[in-house]
Chains A and B, each alone.
Chain A
Amino acid sequence: MYKTMVLLLAFAFLAAFSASSQENKEQDEKENSKTLKAVADAVMPSTVHVEYYLKYDKGEEPVIAGYRCSSCSKFHGTNAGEYVKENRPVEIPGYLISDTEVISPDILTQPRFISKIRVSNGKSDSIAKIFEYGVKQQAVILKLEKQLEGSSPAQINPEAKGPYFTVGFSLDNGMWQVNVRGLGNDIVSYPEISESVRKAMPSSLIVNEKGEIAGVSMNPEISADDSWKSPVSKMEKMSQEQLDAVFAKIKETASKNIVRVQITFRSPQIRNDTRDDMSRRYSNDDDEAQPFDTEVNTKGIMIDGKRILVFADIKPKMTARLEGIKVFADGASSGKPADFVCSMNEYAAIIAELKEPLQTKGLEFSSEDILKLRSMLLPAVQVKVYGDNLVMNYLYNRITDFDIGWKGNRFPELPSVSDYLFLFDLQGRLIALPLAYRPRMSMERYNSYSRHDKNLLPVSYLSAALKNLDSQKNPANVPLNEKDENSIAWLGIEFQQLTPDLARMNKVSELTKNGKNGAVVSYIFPDSPAAKAGIKEGDILLCLYLEDDPAPVEIRAEDRYTRDFPWAEYDRIPDQYFQRIPTPWQTLDNALNSFLTNIGFGKKFTLEYSSGGKIISREFTVEKAPDYYDTAEKYKSDFLGLTVKNLTCEVRRYFQKNPDDPGVIVSKIDPGSKASVSGLKPYEIIIQVNGKPINNVKDFEEQIKDKTDLSFGVTRMGTSRSVKIKMTNGKDAKPAEGEKGKPKPEQLGPVKAPVAAPEE
């Protein structure tokens, strides 16, 4: 009996307890929602809509701060042209902090794109102007022309006690909303910059449950200690005049030290095999150098009075043709000559040195840790080269985040305009510049991923590279003289790109990802690096590994559609047509050799190939190829109208000639010339002149000197014939010794009359 009583009592007690706690919870919740609503209500009267009416300037679309891109996860400035076209303003939240002042997040657009700014609270509105910029806060202070009816400014009381809520005002899903969230006690600490922060909503007021506003933050983080509790007046700001002064300083340093550079190249040799000539490599950047250009217009920066860092991604094949560098500083119309010093290994740049120094010390590099510059207002210059002009756009931007990229380096991310940008600090020192790393070497024709001026390189990395210039330069990427500019590298392999069917036939489907990469060797040139390494016909080339690139390079060759060379109708082809048809043999400058040339002579690489089912890895050094048809020594006889060239290895192979067979090949016949009339045609081989065998063009030149009559022994494929050309003009040649003279024409004398008379 006693026991039951105790049990009952305990039960009742429990029930009452849970009931009350339930009640408490409900009570709490009621209390909570009352509080939250009170908080929101406290903020509402000071909220305003800031409307930026944008316009195009000089045909350029306005750009404002944007969002993180979902496909490449980098910030892009948002192109705000849609706003202009849809005839609506960009609507941004703002808070009234006095009768005529509004604090609002900085949309980071340039003043030239702003047509007007209007602030409204839904009931009344006023025109406004930006008059102060937050230095560390991503904020602007706007001044209204007149007061707004129905709004009251937010009074910031730093003494207000917690717990706090972070209250943000924003336009989402087409509706304005006030978001109230508790300001947690969570702290984030950044050991690299010795800072600790608390996460808040961006563009928010920090409010306690009584509705008292303790502070305001336009950044997504507030300090972990209480220093965020302060009025706007105490915020570090910069007036328009002060900002203009900063820009004036930047303009001065930029105009002196950011220069236009013009690089000229010798004309490339025209080839009938127009692999690259006619179809240019498709590029997303309109200032990327095309391999056959003769002029590159780009920008450069003075690193001291004489030396310039020139922004140019030119590869060994193009650099070989480099003829001159001219520097145009400060809008000058005539350029000052500069010499090539070296090309950089890692960066898409070359160093040049002026013959006469400019009146400048070069751009000053900042030595400050870039991590400490987050959210700060930073002046910048956007530099683009349009034709002969260097166009400079002055603007400011802020770093919001960082990204880890190439070689583990850290790159700043900017929410607004970030391409072609030179970023400075407020003292005019360079923080970051749009210097790209050299794109990865690949054999693909269209290099779709081209990392160019879109990346901002912190200047600390450039400093380090310039200090160690000797280890940074690429000795294989230098200008060459005219004789050597067409030399190519070679391995001595002729190959055929694999297809899924071919891979299957050769039983290498697994090795080559079902024929996607790889090529089968169809010919090895004797005495070539490949022959010496023991590579054989039928081996499958898999991939290449370069010295400083851990990822393999896939072997790709396009199958050039080879048409039958018209030997059968040869005599009927007019002379001018020969310039348009490709040579009957495959050029030595194929995709693989061209690629190796751009790696640079002397560099090492590893070739992976499969032979008889086994995978073999072999190291090679990029070697210079022997002369090929395009670089073969030639001789032109203007009198005859023909050009002959020495027989090179790929030509000998096509005509099945041994290395010591005599002959020179006709490369060009001028239409209508003596050679043309005599029936000589390009690609015929002249074996002897007047009975003497010809081994090279020097022999040929010797043999045709001082002769009255030339007799060539000419072969075309398997057949031969004799061609004679008179060297003198119009006069008869002297009869050779030992010949009787030509028969003299007979005199026509009277005919004897017949005996019988003719009948009628």
Chain B
Amino acid sequence: MRYKILTVATAFIFVLFSGCSTFNSQEEMSGGKIINPDFQSAIKCAKEKVFPALVFIITLREEFREGKKVTLEASGSGVIISPGGEFLTNWHVVNKATEIRCLLFDGTNYEAELMGDDKDSDLALLKLKLPEKHPPLPYATIGNSSKLKEGDFVMALGAPWGLSRSISVGIISCTNRFLPMKSEYSLWLQTDASISPGNSGGPLVNIDGTIIGINSLGSTMGGDMGFAIPAETIQQIIPQLREHGKVNWTWTGLLLQPLKDFKTNTYFNASSGVIVSGTEQESPARQAGITSRDRIIRINGEPITAITEEDLPDIRRKLGLLPKGKPVTVELERDGKLASVQFTPREKGEVEGVELDCPRWDFTVKTINQFDNPQLYFYRKKGVFIFGVKYPGNAQMCGLQHNDIVTSIDGKDIQTLDDIKAVHKAAIENVKDKPRILVNVLRNGSLKQVVLEFSRDYEK
């Protein structure tokens, strides 16, 4: 008798182990009911719920990279999330766009205006310019990405390569993917649903028909590997975009490093906290005396830990959402001793410089930004540098190069775009009398004099 109970018990345990995970997820997703995953019906469900909310976007963007201002077309996808016409897409689709036109599912088209965007999470919130008293639009709901598991079935909707109204299918390959080059503050959903240029900005949908991600990145090599912004991140960011037009990250200047890093074979002897790898130039953390090798244990009393690289975005986001202007207490360990440091974080501000083109001079400039051009910022905190040189063009003929920091033109000190705009305007008006001016640039830390001769008009 005893044996029988035992066998039944062990058999039961086996069954539990094997069938455990799928049971749990299905239960949660369908609110307790067990659904047989039927491909066709899943897609039908999603399609009915989300397709009508899809938007196909074409933008006109100003591009300064080639030394002159050119307007390029770009296309992408988006999804409407409110009946009033708010829709989501990627930041890189609408970045620097001067005109945004949208095609809705039913064939109507409207222009859109940007409400807010964030480069780091690659998200943008826009609103369709609807006429007054327009009936409510079909929209999709944003779901919950924290309950996703690897292997869950998802669909990517959008307009890949301009072919609108397409669906591709796949599974969740990874729920917490860390991409070090792409985002400081967020993790990504990795999927093998086909994400290609064009359906970025479109929704990633689960079998419930809710948006659990916005398609963001694809990969041309490595087969079907795509990444989407998790809904969790979107939920956190949308209110900020609605209210401020951007995510007002707080800046501490802390650069972090995990306790264990397999790639560089670096392992710290600790089980909690996060290592400071360094501090950024002129930052609150640096001014407070925090240095590399300090191990931060608590921020404002809350313990934080980053064991691996993938734990870092979470901590950075915590730091990034701290209130600005209010002092922060950091408890850290330095060389075996515990210490407490206070500093006041600031607003991060712009993460990219502003571009300007100088026609006839045939180059474009950009303001030096601490985060975008750290190696130029190193030499000149407030200045402009040459972003692009047109070929063929006057600047290129005279020896000006990309990444030259312009320190003065025609004897006038240049620090802002307004400075250069003023000098440029005066010089162009005077070109017949004075077709050549002296430009001083910093190249690789050394001062160079270049005579810019612009009597020729390369646009003729």
Which stretch in B189-197, B264-272, B349-357 binds the other chain? Answer: B264-272
A715: chain B residues at CB < 8 Å are 278
- Produce 1/0 per residue, B430-449, CB < 8 A to A: 00000010100001111111
For the complex, count residues of A whose C-beta is within 8 A of B: 57
Interface of B is mostly: mixed
Query: By the criterion CB–CB under 8 Å, are B448 and A522 in contact?
Result: yes
Determine which of B15, B276, B403 lies in contact with A758 in the assembled complex, contact meaning CB atoms within 8 Å: B15
Query: By the criterion CB–CB under 8 Å, are B447 and A523 in contact?
Result: yes
CA distance A653 to B378 in the complex (A): 12
CA distance A565 to B449 in the complex (A): 19
- Minimal beta-carbon separation of B437 from chain A (angstroms): 8
Q: A718-B378, A753-B16 are in contact. Are A564 and B436 (CB under 8 A)?
A: no
B271: chain A residues at CB < 8 Å are 740, 742-743
- Produce 1/0 per residue, A282-319, CB < 8 A to B: 00000000000000000000000000000000000000
Which stretch in A97-105, A108-116, A373-381, A722-730 binds the other chain? Answer: A722-730
A739: chain B residues at CB < 8 Å are 269-270
CA distance A758 to B220 in the complex (A): 45
Which residues 533-581 of A have a CB within 8 angstroms of B? 537, 562, 564-565, 567-568
- Minimal beta-carbon separation of A689 from chain B (angstroms): 11
Query: By the criterion CB–CB under 8 Å, are A656 and B379 in contact?
Result: yes
CA distance A733 to B449 in the complex (A): 55
Determine which of A562, A713, A751 lies in contact with B293 in the assembled complex, contact meaning CB atoms within 8 Å: A713
Q: Which residue of chain A is the closest to B373 with respect to CB atoms? A: A568
A431: chain B residues at CB < 8 Å are none
CA distance A742 to B335 in the complex (A): 19
Q: Which residue of chain A is the closest to B282 with respect to CB atoms? A: A718
A677 sits at the interface (CB 8 A): yes
Q: A502-B451, A753-B16 are in contact. Are A721 and B255 (CB under 8 A)?
A: yes
CA distance A743 to B307 in the complex (A): 14
A740: chain B residues at CB < 8 Å are 271
Query: By the criterion CB–CB under 8 Å, are B275 and A656 in contact?
Result: no
Query: By the criterion CB–CB under 8 Å, are A678 and B265 in contact?
Result: yes
Which residues 244-296 of B have a CB within 8 angstroms of A? 255, 257, 263-271, 275-281, 291-293
CA distance A494 to B443 in the complex (A): 13
Q: Which residue of chain B is the closest to A500 with respect to CB atoms? A: B451
Which residues 576-627 of A have a CB within 8 angstroms of B? 584-586
A82 sits at the interface (CB 8 A): no
Which residues 5-31 of B have a CB within 8 angstroms of A? 9, 12-13, 15-17, 19, 23
B293: chain A residues at CB < 8 Å are 691, 711, 713, 722
A750 sits at the interface (CB 8 A): yes
Which residues 323-378 of B have a CB within 8 angstroms of A? 335-336, 374-375, 377-378
B291: chain A residues at CB < 8 Å are 713
- Minimal beta-carbon separation of A732 from chain B (angstroms): 9
- Produce 1/0 per residue, A678-721, CB < 8 A to B: 11000000000001000000000000000000010101011111
Q: A505-B438, A678-B266, A753-B12 are in contact. Are A523 and B446 (CB under 8 A)?
A: yes
Q: A565-B444, A679-B264, A721-B292 are in contact. Are A758 and B401 (CB under 8 A)?
A: no
A217 sits at the interface (CB 8 A): no
Query: By the criterion CB–CB under 8 Å, are B292 and A522 in contact?
Result: no
Q: A720-B277, A724-B266 are in contact. Are A753 and B9 (CB under 8 A)?
A: yes
B9: chain A residues at CB < 8 Å are 753
Determine which of A505, A719, A757 lies in contact with B451 in the assembled complex, contact meaning CB atoms within 8 Å: A505
A520 sits at the interface (CB 8 A): yes
B63 sits at the interface (CB 8 A): no
Determine which of B13, B264, B269, B335 lies in contact with A677 in the assembled complex, contact meaning CB atoms within 8 Å: B264
Query: By the criterion CB–CB under 8 Å, are A502 and B374 in contact?
Result: no
Query: By the criterion CB–CB under 8 Å, are A568 and B13 in contact?
Result: no
- Minimal beta-carbon separation of B361 from chain A (angstroms): 15
B113 sits at the interface (CB 8 A): no
Query: By the criterion CB–CB under 8 Å, are B264 and A737 in contact?
Result: no
Query: By the criterion CB–CB under 8 Å, are B280 and A718 in contact?
Result: yes
Query: By the criterion CB–CB under 8 Å, are B449 and A496 in contact?
Result: yes
B208 sits at the interface (CB 8 A): no
B310 sits at the interface (CB 8 A): no
Query: By the criterion CB–CB under 8 Å, are A722 and B292 in contact?
Result: yes
Determine which of B264, B281, B447, B451 lies in contact with A499 in the assembled complex, contact meaning CB atoms within 8 Å: B451
CA distance A723 to B23 in the complex (A): 45
CA distance A520 to B17 in the complex (A): 80
Q: Which of B34, B378, B401 has its CB near the most chain A CB atoms (within 10 A)?
A: B378
Which residues 623-675 of A have a CB within 8 angstroms of B? 653-654, 656, 674
CA distance A715 to B375 in the complex (A): 12
Query: By the criterion CB–CB under 8 Å, are A720 and B449 in contact?
Result: no
B309 sits at the interface (CB 8 A): no
Q: Which residue of chain B is the closest to A520 with respect to CB atoms? A: B449
Determine which of A499, A585, A718 lies in contact with B445 in the assembled complex, contact meaning CB atoms within 8 Å: A585
- Produce 1/0 per residue, B395-411, CB < 8 A to A: 00000011100000000
Query: By the criterion CB–CB under 8 Å, are B265 and A677 in contact?
Result: yes
B17: chain A residues at CB < 8 Å are 751
For the complex, count residues of B whose C-beta is within 8 A of A: 51
Query: By the criterion CB–CB under 8 Å, are A502 and B277 in contact?
Result: no
CA distance A691 to B263 in the complex (A): 23
Query: By the criterion CB–CB under 8 Å, are B257 and A722 in contact?
Result: yes
Query: By the criterion CB–CB under 8 Å, are A733 and B13 in contact?
Result: no
A719: chain B residues at CB < 8 Å are 255, 278, 280-281, 374
A150 sits at the interface (CB 8 A): no
B62 sits at the interface (CB 8 A): no
Q: Which residue of chain A is the closest to B440 with respect to CB atoms? A: A522
Query: By the criterion CB–CB under 8 Å, are B12 and A522 in contact?
Result: no
CA distance A718 to B277 in the complex (A): 13
A405 sits at the interface (CB 8 A): no
CA distance A679 to B261 in the complex (A): 11
Query: By the criterion CB–CB under 8 Å, are A735 and B269 in contact?
Result: yes
Determine which of B16, B277, B436 lies in contact with A722 in the assembled complex, contact meaning CB atoms within 8 Å: B277
Q: Which residue of chain A is the closest to B404 with respect to CB atoms? A: A564
Query: By the criterion CB–CB under 8 Å, are B266 and A718 in contact?
Result: no
Determine which of B34, B266, B377, B401 lies in contact with A723 in the assembled complex, contact meaning CB atoms within 8 Å: B266
A736: chain B residues at CB < 8 Å are 269, 336
Which residues 442-460 of B have a CB within 8 angstroms of A? 443-449, 451, 453
A401 sits at the interface (CB 8 A): no
B453: chain A residues at CB < 8 Å are 501
Query: By the criterion CB–CB under 8 Å, are A720 and B278 in contact?
Result: yes
- Produce 1/0 per residue, A740-760, CB < 8 A to B: 101100000011011001110
- Minimal beta-carbon separation of A498 from chain B (angstroms): 9
B263: chain A residues at CB < 8 Å are 679
CA distance A264 to B123 in the complex (A): 68
A408 sits at the interface (CB 8 A): no
Determine which of B34, B276, B402, B438 lies in contact with A564 in the assembled complex, contact meaning CB atoms within 8 Å: B402
Q: Which residue of chain B is the closest to A724 with respect to CB atoms? A: B266
CA distance A658 to B275 in the complex (A): 28
A59 sits at the interface (CB 8 A): no
Query: By the criterion CB–CB under 8 Å, are B269 and A721 in contact?
Result: no
Determine which of A494, A568, A753 lies in contact with B375 in the assembled complex, contact meaning CB atoms within 8 Å: A568
Query: By the criterion CB–CB under 8 Å, are B269 and A586 in contact?
Result: no
Query: By the criterion CB–CB under 8 Å, are B13 and A751 in contact?
Result: yes
Q: Which residue of chain A is the closest to B439 with respect to CB atoms? A: A505
A174 sits at the interface (CB 8 A): no
B267: chain A residues at CB < 8 Å are 724, 726
CA distance A733 to B277 in the complex (A): 21
B447: chain A residues at CB < 8 Å are 522-523, 537
- B contacts, CB < 8 Å to A: 9, 12-13, 15-17, 19, 23, 34, 255, 257, 263-271, 275-281, 291-293, 335-336, 374-375, 377-379, 401-403, 436, 438, 443-449, 451, 453
- The 4 A-B residue pairs whose C-beta atoms are closest, nearest first, are A720-B278, A721-B277, A501-B451, A567-B375
A-B contact pairs, 7 of them (CB 8 A): A501-B453, A502-B451, A505-B451, A522-B448, A565-B444, A733-B269, A750-B13
Given contacts A505-B438, A722-B277, A722-B292, 17 further A-B contacts (CB under 8 A): A494-B446, A496-B448, A501-B451, A501-B453, A564-B401, A564-B402, A656-B445, A674-B265, A678-B265, A718-B280, A718-B281, A718-B375, A720-B292, A722-B278, A725-B266, A737-B336, A751-B17
